[in-house]
């Protein structure tokens, strides 16, 4: 198993702004990079966790649900970091939060079902808490703009 299945952060994902105001987004991108790198750590733990699940009959289902949620987070961080529109950033942040919560629900359920060791659940819970705190710092860098969300959410 490749524990570094997620690629390293590359600034080349984000082309330079034609108007020369990249400095405006430097704090956001740095916070996004920190968050992304923390997610790489969480992702490694989660993938290792799925390998430890005990019940072979339900292991593929539980592992797949956890994996699906885990795989959504990194692209959404990159997508939000590459956009300047507040609505798009918030939409991506909402998807990240939803996937993290669903992932943790599956991890906790695996523990409750005695398919996983409590220790492994605790390690992931701690890593997710660190990720959540960085996530809050990252979202705090988002600046509302003049564009309205046509759905009325943000």
**Helix, strand, coil: what percent of the chain each, to 5?**
70, 0, 30
Given this model, what pLDDT does residue 3 score?
Answer: 47
Q: What is the mean pLDDT of the chain?
A: 86
Q: Give the domain ranges of the chain.
A: 27-139
Write the pLDDT tens digit of every residue in 70-125.
999 999 999 998 888 899 999 999 999 999 999 999 999 888 888 888 888 999 99
pTM for this entry? 0.86
CATH of domain 27-139: 1.20.1440.60
């Amino acid at each position: 198993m490749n524990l570094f299945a997620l690629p390293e952060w590359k600034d080349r994902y984000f082309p330079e702004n034609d108007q020369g105001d990249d400095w405006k987004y430097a704090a956001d991108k740095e916070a996004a990079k920190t968050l992304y790198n923390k997610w790489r750590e969480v992702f490694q733990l989660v993938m290792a966790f799925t390998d430890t699940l005990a019940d072979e009959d339900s292991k593929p289902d539980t592992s797949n649900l956890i994996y699906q949620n885990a795989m959504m987070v990194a692209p959404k961080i990159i997508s939000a970091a590459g956009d300047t529109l507040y609505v798009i950033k918030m939409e991506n942040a909402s998807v990240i939060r939803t996937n993290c919560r669903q992932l943790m629900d599956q991890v906790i359920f695996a523990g409750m079902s005695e398919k996983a060791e409590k220790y492994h659940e605790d390690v992931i819970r701690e890593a997710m808490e660190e990720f959540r705190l960085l996530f809050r710092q990252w979202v705090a860098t988002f600046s509302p703009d003049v564009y309205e969300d046509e759905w009325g959410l943000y």
